[in-house]
Structure 1
């Protein structure tokens, strides 16, 4: 899968809760409690495994989750990252 240009990344991020951080995109989420944060992480794991595209996941504080997406084999962002980001947005809704 081809790496996206900076302009393509910027276009895909418009109106999104994701932000670019270097060669990745990140999104922070906050949940009412720890159990709901972990339940969300479990759902992310299922979707990521099915897509064979795995985000970095950071659980911090007691109710916060940070998701980071990048296609390591391409050294940056690809359409696979944005496809998974859209799916993860659906989970978070």
Structure 2
């Protein structure tokens, strides 16, 4: 997958910085999903914090080992970008949610990291598409 979003680099956000407007979220979500139709993301409320909207996707795997390897790869991106997701690892699946705490909403950083996550998924061993 080639995506200008995936080629981006996260920028630091200060608390109270503005989150993206709804029309920007919709546009970037379409760009993100058009880049990798196999892995569609949605912008939806977090189950543990319904007032918080996050980019979310659950990736399915053949087994725990491949799901764990994917989780570690996403973790490496998070460290590199200094932007960290919610990761829920279970047998055969990894749920990934990106949002920006400092803005209280979605930011360009979330779309960059989601695109990078989709790139990893494109080549992940054991992933079910």
Common fold: TM-score over 0.5: yes
Match of 1:30 among 55, 60, 63: 60
- How far, CA to CA, are the matches of 1:72 and 1:81 in structure 2? 11
Match of 1:89 among 93, 99, 118: 118
The 3-state SS of whatever aligns with 2:102 is helix
- Structure 2 counterparts to residues 37-76 of structure 1, below 5 A: 37-60=67-90, 62-76=91-105
| Residues paired across the two proteins, number | 92
- How far, CA to CA, are the matches of 1:24 and 1:33 in structure 2? 26
The 3-state SS of whatever aligns with 1:74 is coil
- Give the helix-richer structure, 1 or 2: 1
- How far, CA to CA, are the matches of 1:20 and 1:87 in structure 2? 16
Question: Which aligned segments of 4 or more residues in structure 1 are displaced greater than 6 angstroms?
Answer: none
| C-alpha RMSD of the superposition | 1.2
Measured against aligned partners, the alpha-carbon deviations of 1:37-65 in whole angstroms (never above 9, x if no partner) come to 000001111110010000000113x1011
- How far, CA to CA, are the matches of 1:14 and 1:36 in structure 2? 28
Match of 1:21 among 31, 40, 44: 44
- How far, CA to CA, are the matches of 1:64 and 1:25 in structure 2? 17
Measured against aligned partners, the alpha-carbon deviations of 1:43-88 in whole angstroms (never above 9, x if no partner) come to 111110010000000113x101110010001000000000111111
Q: TM-score with structure 2 length normalisation?
A: 0.68
- How far, CA to CA, are the matches of 2:89 and 2:72 in structure 1? 12
**Greater C-alpha Rg:** 2
Instruction: Give the drift of 1:18.
Output: 0.6
